[in-house]
Amino acid sequence: MSETAAAKKNDSGMAKLTITLGAICAACALVLGLVNMVTEAPIAAVQKQKNDAAMAEVLPADSYEQMEYTGSDATIKSLYKAGDAGYVVEVSPSSSFSGTLTIMVGVNADQTVSGVAVTKSGETSGLGDNAKKPDFRAQYVGLSGEVKVTKDGGQITPITGATITSRAVSAGVTSALAAVAELG
């Protein structure tokens, strides 16, 4: 076989491989899109149910009215008025270890923390994920103003081996308190 015939054969083989790979990628993209379309609503419903349960845990109330947050803190995801009891604030502190931590903070009418719940966490299992434990979260109840871990001169005992997560939760609680204070 001559050199030009071998080059044409290689070009033909390369074109077939490119077309085949493109078709496989298009099929995978289509399947992923369909799976996303089918699972999007059930995932949203489960997340709403989880958020509703967290709101009831951190500040029990008859109803929760979502309010528009117009402040400058980008970590505040949503804010709810919990009747006359106070507010519930959903916060995603950007300083968490994984970057995917979301908490609900209940703030009483007297601007003290009524409770904290973790609704979403990508923190390390057995370390930062311990922020979900009741003993850690209970430290925040009754606090107001700026909340810090003891290593930073504050009042929260950090989770052993997970100071970054402990600081992130504390920063989230501080953000929630500040957001409610902005409302007056």
Q: What is the pTM of this model?
A: 0.77
Q: Using CB atoms within 10 A of its CB, is residue 76 exposed (0-12), middle (13-18) or buried (19+)?
A: buried
Confidence band (pLDDT; 50, 70, 90) for 8? low
pLDDT tens digits for range 152-166: 999 999 888 888 889
pLDDT tens digits for range 29-42: 999 999 999 999 99
122 in Cβ contact with 147 (< 8 Å): no
Q: DSSP readout, 96-147?
A: SSSS--EEEEEEETTS-EEEEEEEE--SPTTTGGGGGSHHHHHTTTT--S--
